[in-house]
Amino acid sequence: MPTEPNTILLVEDNPAHAEIVIRSFQDHHVANNIIHVLDGEAALDYLLHRGQFTGVENSPRPRVILLDLRLPKVSGLQLLQEIKTHETLSSIPVVILTTSEAERDLALAYANHVNSYLVKPVDFAKFSQLIDDLGIYWLDWNRQPWS
């Protein structure tokens, strides 16, 4: 499956959190294509090439999906379940990036085959370091069959 180098799908409804993630990746030259959508429905449109994302050229397959849990329209857990049960999407790594430390959220995420669950640090420097490490691992070190 073709993928554009270092395409990340960021599903985050909080503009401030999204800006930190995007700037951290840019500052560390980790990703060259970050697609940011504000809700789970837009993420499904992107992944399934619907609506404004019609056609593969408008929505290249991401190397990793960064997913917040608390999203409008389609929740992060619902989106995760859709991705992991979809024949062509299930192999895309999904990393939950959330403020929730709730045991229930963690258990449900892993029950739905999340690849990683990360809690956003409150401290900006720690958050920036987390994003840097995340990008290095998922985009440089991790190997995928289509990359």
Per the listing, tokens 């790594």 go with 93
CATH topology of domain 7-138: Rossmann fold (3.40.50)
pLDDT of residue 110: 97
pLDDT band for 135, please (50, 70, 90 cuts): confident
Q: What is the pTM of this model?
A: 0.89
Could you tell me the end-to-end alpha-carbon distance of the chain, in angstroms, rounded to an integer?
8
**Among 74, 86, 9, residue whose Cα is nearest residue 40:** 74
Classify each residue of 50-60 as buried b or exposed e, where b means 16 or more C-beta atoms within 10 Å of its C-beta.
Answer: eeebeeeeebb
Instruction: For residue 91, give the H/E element and its range.
Output: none
In sequence order, what are the beta bridge partners of 35? 9
Give the pLDDT confidence of 13-38 residue by residue, as tens digits.
Answer: 999 889 988 988 888 776 678 999 99
